[in-house]
């Protein structure tokens, strides 16, 4: 059954990845309402009354990527405005199978989105999430952020390690957060690895209708420099729309 992008499809267990995502999401403050009928009237130039009404709400603008990933856009020269995160989630020193994850974000017309920002939150090779600075591992950040606006094909690319299965029985996966112009609230999805035996037992993946699970699979496309490369495209709308979760 077809689901709209923001419709509730499945509600994953409250593991540490969801908790961190919710913390990052922050609280949503309530917008004050204008008085009924608009704000008080004021007189125009020749005595005519003008009703002041509340300004329409706005979506995320086209320039937010510059602030989230300034290094990609050349604003970090001389360490003037460094990026807090980039596409390197785990460096060469971190134990585990090194992989690359690449993909594009497509809109409802099938066109690549040139100003999206993708964030990935993941466990390490043993299936453990970082819960704070006290658990930090040298070379492993557990989180990455990349924009699509500087690549000629509007691709995002992450260098990391393949995560391990978590203790609560979830298969290896990447938690993916999508931000882009027009989205008031970022969208949450997951990338599982094609051919992973544990996928058949994953409670979150199996809560999704079988015909739509393929939208959550990262497909291996060969190797680059001895590293497996996985393709994970995100489709915001349309027949092959990616499954998004309400968390």
- Please state, in angstroms and rounded to a whole number, the distance separating the CA atoms of residues 241 and 247: 18
In this structure, are strands 217-224 and 187-193 parallel, antiparallel, or unpaired?
A: parallel
Nearest to 65 by CA among 119, 107, 27: 119
Position 13 pLDDT exceeds 50: no
For residue 43, pLDDT over 60 is answered with no
pLDDT at residue 18 in the model:
44
Find out whether 17 and 123 touch, Cβ atoms under 8 Å.
yes
The first and second tokens of residue 83, run together, are 């990026």
pLDDT in tens, 87-135: 999 999 999 999 999 999 999 999 999 989 999 999 999 999 998 777 7
Residues 61-67: what's their mean pLDDT?
Answer: 70
**Distance between CA 171 and CA 232 in Å, rounded?**
17
What does the block give as tokens for 92?
Answer: 């060469």
pLDDT at 39 over 70: no
- CATH T-level topology, domain 60-235: Protocatechuate 3,4-Dioxygenase, subunit A (2.60.130)
The three-state secondary structure class of 216 is helix
Q: What ranges make up the beta strands (E) of the chain?
A: 39-43, 49-52, 98-106, 117-121, 143-147, 155-161, 173-179, 187-193, 217-224, 227-231, 234-235
CB 183 within 8 Å of CB 177: no
Tell me how crowded residue 199 is: count the other CB atoms within 10 A of its CB. 19
Chain segment 173-217, per-residue pLDDT in tens: 999 999 988 888 889 999 999 999 999 999 999 999 999 999 999
């Amino acid at each position: 059954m077809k689901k709209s992008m923001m419709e509730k499809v499945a509600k994953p267990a409250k593991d540490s990845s969801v908790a961190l995502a919710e913390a990052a999401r922050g609280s949503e403050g309530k917008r004050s309402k204008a008085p009924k009928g608009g704000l008080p009237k004021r007189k125009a130039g020749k005595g005519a009354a003008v009703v002041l009404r509340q300004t329409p709400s706005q979506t995320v603008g086209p320039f937010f990527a510059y602030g989230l990933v300034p290094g990609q856009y050349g604003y970090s020269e001389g360490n003037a405005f460094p990026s807090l995160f980039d596409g390197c989630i785990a460096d060469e020193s971190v134990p585990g199978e090194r992989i690359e994850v690449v993909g594009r974000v497509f809109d409802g017309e099938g066109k690549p989105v040139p100003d999206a920002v993708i964030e990935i939150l993941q466990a390490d090779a043993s299936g453990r999430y970082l819960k704070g600075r006290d658990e930090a591992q040298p070379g492993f950040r557990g989180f990455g952020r990349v924009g699509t606006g500087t690549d000629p094909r509007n691709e995002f690319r992450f260098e990391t390690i393949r995560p391990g299965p978590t203790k609560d029985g979830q298969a290896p996966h990447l938690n993916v957060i999508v931000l882009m112009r027009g989205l008031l609230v970022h969208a949450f999805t997951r990338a599982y690895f094609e051919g992973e035996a544990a996928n058949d037992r994953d409670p979150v993946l199996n809560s999704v209708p079988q015909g739509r699970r393929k939208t959550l699979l990262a497909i291996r496309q060969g190797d680059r420099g001895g590293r497996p490369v996985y393709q994970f495209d995100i489709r915001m709308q349309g027949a092959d729309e990616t499954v998004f979760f309400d968390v």
